[in-house]
Structure 1
């Protein structure tokens, strides 16, 4: 003998419970238990398990959506159907987020009651939608735009790095040679005793420019190539 499927109907209107009891009779494989509010329903759920919870959305105290959230937290495998006489878009969205299996409107016909019960128990439990998932749709394009702008800047820096370093390698030695020539000419023209030491040191400073600055330019090129690798940009 097939076990009867237990349906808990939660509504402060006893007519609704009687309607479900009349339609979902034992000869159809159901047994209907009623509760007048959410607190009573949770108390009954502590005593036994149910195959389906049907609840009104508007009740004294805890409403139907809050009850659905409690059911999903305690028994996530149990389907929940919400019944309402004034279904608004906001109420339906709350029900969807709470993970209810169906959202039906009064008045309920016998065919609607039976079809809703069958579909709710056959379908897998609706997933509970985390609040963090419900981000505005426009956030994703903004994030993508920021990412694209960063890639463009990185690519521009990587392309400019060799030219900047080349400027160090080519121009700065020329500046050093110019300074060396100027210092030599100045030393020849003005052979002042007090300035002999400074004049003697000046060519050495110019030579330092010639030798050290190309090295600095080459190191800059290597650093920028490591900081903005072209392979990473191509992969992005």
Structure 2
């Protein structure tokens, strides 16, 4: 048989200290798409699984050294996609419970018939294909979940062009706080300013000096109020301007 033909076969590892069991698997499965490899104990089986790929493992439950359930636990911990079938000549409730808890695919009871061997090998190899696909897809799902939200979602466009996104909330808050005062300032300052301009521009023949002084006297509180309201916000505006300018200077550096 060529090496290419061997690669196309499903590789089955039979772990049993009795060589007759391995020969039985080889006699039944050879020529039916399987390549049977044997191991005498758990240590040899784990070494072979670490060195080569297999599609299914059949292991006896009682062997010198490591028992079959421990072998199954070690294999499932290292290669969870690899089906393990327990072959037991000691069918006890406790043994089967331990085997199921270890995650084995099936438990076969000796003596084994050719049909049992063939059917169990076919089911195990089929399960190997399904579990391999599931495990292969798992890293992609984990990687997708691990993507930071900033990378998964499209970047938000800044609200103001040329303004750093971090300053947008601050500028919005400043606008909300200043808008009422700006309206009050316009309500007080604009009429007062126009009145003063009109008063000064009038010919002296129409108003006496006394009347002009009285008008200025009544206009002065409104101008003072406008000054008091405006100055703090003018100062804040100057500070904000220098802060924004500093940020842009640092970004351009």
Q: TM-score, normalised by structure 2?
A: 0.48
Q: Are 2:76 and 1:72 aligned?
A: yes
How far apart, CA to CA, are the structure 1 residues paired with 2:117 and 2:40? 19
SS at match of 1:71: helix
Give the match for residue 11 of structure 2. 6
Q: Please list every run of at least 4 consecutive aligned residues from structure 1 whose deviation after the TM superposition is greater than 6 angstroms.
A: none
Give the match for residue 109 of structure 2. 105
How far apart, CA to CA, are the structure 1 residues paired with 2:22 and 2:65? 19
Once the two structures are superposed, residues 112-144 of structure 1 have per-residue CA deviations (whole angstroms, 9 ceiling, x without a partner) of 10001111222355xxxxxxxxxxxxxxxxxxx
Give the match for residue 35 of structure 1. 39
How far apart, CA to CA, are the structure 1 residues paired with 2:61 and 2:89? 9
The answer on whether the counterparts of 2:17 and 2:41 sit within 8 Å (CA) in structure 1 is yes
Please give the residue correspondences for 1:71-220 in structure 2 after superposition, counting only pairs within 5 Å: 71-123=75-127, 124=130
How far apart, CA to CA, are the structure 2 residues paired with 1:54 and 1:20? 10
How far apart, CA to CA, are the structure 2 residues paired with 1:33 and 1:91? 25
Supply the RMSD in Å over aligned alpha carbons.
1.9
User: Please, which runs of 5 or more residues in structure 2 have no aligned partner?
Assistant: 132-253
Greater Rg over alpha carbons, structure: 2
- The higher relative CO (CA closer than 8 Å, separation ≥ 6) is in 1
Give the C-alpha shift of residue 55 in structure 1. 0.2
20, 38, 41: which one aligns with 2:25:
20
How far apart, CA to CA, are the structure 2 residues paired with 1:79 and 1:121? 8
The answer on whether the counterparts of 2:25 and 2:36 sit within 8 Å (CA) in structure 1 is yes
How far apart, CA to CA, are the structure 1 residues paired with 2:108 and 2:46? 22
Q: TM-score, normalised by structure 1?
A: 0.51
How far apart, CA to CA, are the structure 2 residues paired with 1:84 and 1:96? 13
How far apart, CA to CA, are the structure 2 residues paired with 1:51 and 1:116? 12
